[in-house]
């Protein structure tokens, strides 16, 4: 992207068949214009930007210096890349040379095509900057002063490196002394490297002796602990004790008494006792269910979701096969009876249910087919094309609620549904089509069918409009062909 500080020159390139003569630009760059000499190329057509992008074109540039230097490169799109604009920075290697440069630019279509979108040949100049014209004597003076300064700095660096080498030796000795267990006070009292090494060796010997004692004791203690651990494991295995790991997946909530019977609870006709039951199955008496004609003694089952926000309570009287349920979510529902079969009725199996379902479906399909055959009629099948073409129907369209007109047009096939109640005299069919792969050529089509007679319609008009060329087709375009008319009552 061109910066505000760049030296830019705009060159217009027209997409035209007219001859564009070679011209000398009133443009001069300096040999000091490094990374800032840029040409911007506007590609236009009819004085408007030509919509180009990296998808369809590529830009090329060739530059020849009068000293024989030659550069060939590609152009770069500016952002956004559909405004017909390219840019190119003059290479620094070319800017080093003063003189005249001939530049040829051309934009070509991508792919196998040889189409050149735009081309231009121009010339411009490069002048030597003032900085590059400094005399050799001045340059030599600065070089001598720099060499003298460099020699002084080099001597100082050598002296510093020598002193640092000695310091590194002493620091290394201090580090080793600390690693051998000497304190900072002992290190400070030592007046030489020899004394420092003797102290470090002595302390290291003391540490090794203590380490041997501690290591021997640790080995004895570890053997003792290993013996005790093995004895413990053997005692657990022989005692048939269940470990925590073995019982990890066991159900730990007690659902029955130890003898396998369900707990017996007298609810004393109190709702709070009934609703306060925990998860499980109970045999309850004086159950406050409030259901007429049912014993207050029976089996009660409470199911509770986490946090007790959802509950389901089931009651089964001890002397009946009736089942009642109620549930809690923010508040308790009323009792609902779950239907059960009498003893003299059989439970329907999956096979019997599927057989009855298949029979029902077959009857429904047969009835639907019969009704649809009465409702749907094909009124016309053939080929009707061209203005004033008449085609006969087997019945009047006004005997139907909906008709469907089908056929072909240059864009493919069409199906036009029509509510007969909205028809007066004519039925209009309108379609549009994008007539090439890129969608740039648009055509609109319209045909009108006169159905006033009801049983002998005819094509009243058939027209089209070329949107790109803004060109109407005239009355007899004959683009539509009607092949079928159907009716539904």
Q: Is the dihedral of CA 261, 266, 270, 272 positive or negative?
A: negative
- Look at residue 295 and give its three-state secondary structure: coil
pLDDT of residue 179: 55
* Concatenated DSSP letters of 195-262: HHHHHHHHHHHHHHHHHHHHHHHHHHHHHHHHHHHHHHHHHHHHTTPPPTTTTTTS--S--S-TTSPP
Tens place of pLDDT per residue across the chain (489 aa):
656 667 888 888 887 766 667 778 888 888 888 888 998 988 887 777 777 777 788 889 999 999 998 999 988 887 666 667 888 999 988 888 999 999 999 888 877 556 677 788 899 999 988 765 555 455 455 545 555 666 766 776 776 666 666 555 555 665 665 555 555 555 555 545 566 677 777 777 777 787 777 777 778 888 888 888 887 777 766 766 777 777 788 888 888 998 999 999 999 999 999 999 999 999 999 999 999 999 999 999 999 987 778 999 999 999 999 999 999 998 999 999 998 877 677 666 777 778 888 888 888 888 777 777 678 999 999 999 999 999 999 999 999 999 999 999 998 999 999 999 999 899 999 998 887 777 777 889 999 999 999 999 999 999 999 888 888 988 889 999 999 999 998
Q: Closest Cα to residue 11, out of 84, 74, 72?
A: 84
Question: Element (H or E) spanning 165, and its range?
Answer: helix 136-179
- Look at residue 475 and give its three-state secondary structure: coil
* Cross-strand pairs, 450: 426, 458
Q: Is the dihedral of CA 166, 167, 168, 169 positive or negative?
A: positive
Q: Which distant-in-sequence residues (6+ apart) come within 8 Å of 243 by Cβ?
A: 236
Say what angle helices 136-179 and 193-238 make with each other, to 10 degrees: 60
Nearest-angstrom CA–CA distance, 321 and 338: 10
Question: Element (H or E) spanning 426, and its range?
Answer: strand 426-434
For the chain, which domains are there?
7-132 (2.60.40.3350), 264-338 (no CATH), 375-488 (2.60.320)
HSE-up of 90 (CA within 13 Å, CB side)?
29
- Are 41 and 20 within 8 A, CB to CB? no
- Look at residue 263 and give its three-state secondary structure: coil
DSSP state at residue 78: P
């Amino acid at each position: 992207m061109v910066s505000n500080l760049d030296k830019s020159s705009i060159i217009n390139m027209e997409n035209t068949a007219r001859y564009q003569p070679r011209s000398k630009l009133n443009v001069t760059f300096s040999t000091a214009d490094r990374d800032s000499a840029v040409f911007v190329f506007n590609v236009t057509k009819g004085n408007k930007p030509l919509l180009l992008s990296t998808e369809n074109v590529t830009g090329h540039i060739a530059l020849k210096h009068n000293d024989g230097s030659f550069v060939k490169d590609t152009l770069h799109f500016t952002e956004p890349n559909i405004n017909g604009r390219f840019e190119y920075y003059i290479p620094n290697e070319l800017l080093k040379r003063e003189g005249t440069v001939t530049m040829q630019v051309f934009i070509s279509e991508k792919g196998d095509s040889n189409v050149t979108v735009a081309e231009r040949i121009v010339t411009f100049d490069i002048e030597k900057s003032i900085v590059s014209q400094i005399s050799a004597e001045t340059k030599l003076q600065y070089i001598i002063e720099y060499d003298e300064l460099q020699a002084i700095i080099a001597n100082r660096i050598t002296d510093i490196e020598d002193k640092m080498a000695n310091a590194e030796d002493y620091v290394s000795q201090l580090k080793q002394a600390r690693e051998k267990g000497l304190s900072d006070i002992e290190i400070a009292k030592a007046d030489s490297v020899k004394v420092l090494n003797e102290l470090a060796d002595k302390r290291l010997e003391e540490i090794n002796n203590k380490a041997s004692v501690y290591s021997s004791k640790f080995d004895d203690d570890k053997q003792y602990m290993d013996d005790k651990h093995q004895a413990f494991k053997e005692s657990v295995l022989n005692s048939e004790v269940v470990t925590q790991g073995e019982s990890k997946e066991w159900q730990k909530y007690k659902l029955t008494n130890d003898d396998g019977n369900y707990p017996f609870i007298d609810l004393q006709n109190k709702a709070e006792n009934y609703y306060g039951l925990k998860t499980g199955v109970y045999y309850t008496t004086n159950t406050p269910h409030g259901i007429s004609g049912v014993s207050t003694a029976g089996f009660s089952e409470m199911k509770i979701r986490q946090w007790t926000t959802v509950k389901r309570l089931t009651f089964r009287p001890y002397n009946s096969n009736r089942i009642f349920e109620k549930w809690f979510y923010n508040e308790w529902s009323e009792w609902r009876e779950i239907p059960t079969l009498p003893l003299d009725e059989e439970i329907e199996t999956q096979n019997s249910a599927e057989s009855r379902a298949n029979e029902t479906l077959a009857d429904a399909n047969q009835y639907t087919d019969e009704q649809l055959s009465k409702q749907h009629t094909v009124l016309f099948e053939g080929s009707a094309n061209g203005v004033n073409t008449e085609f006969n129907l087997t019945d009047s369209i006004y005997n139907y609620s909906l008709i469907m007109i089908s056929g072909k047009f240059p864009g493919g096939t069409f199906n036009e549904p029509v509510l007969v109640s909205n028809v007066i005299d004519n039925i209009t069919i309108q379609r549009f089509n994008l007539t090439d792969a890129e969608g740039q050529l648009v055509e609109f089509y319209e045909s009108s069918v006169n159905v006033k007679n009801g049983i002998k319609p005819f094509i009243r008009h058939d027209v089209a409009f070329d949107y790109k060329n803004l060109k109407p087709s005239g009355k007899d375009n004959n683009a539509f062909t009607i092949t079928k008319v159907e009716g539904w009552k």
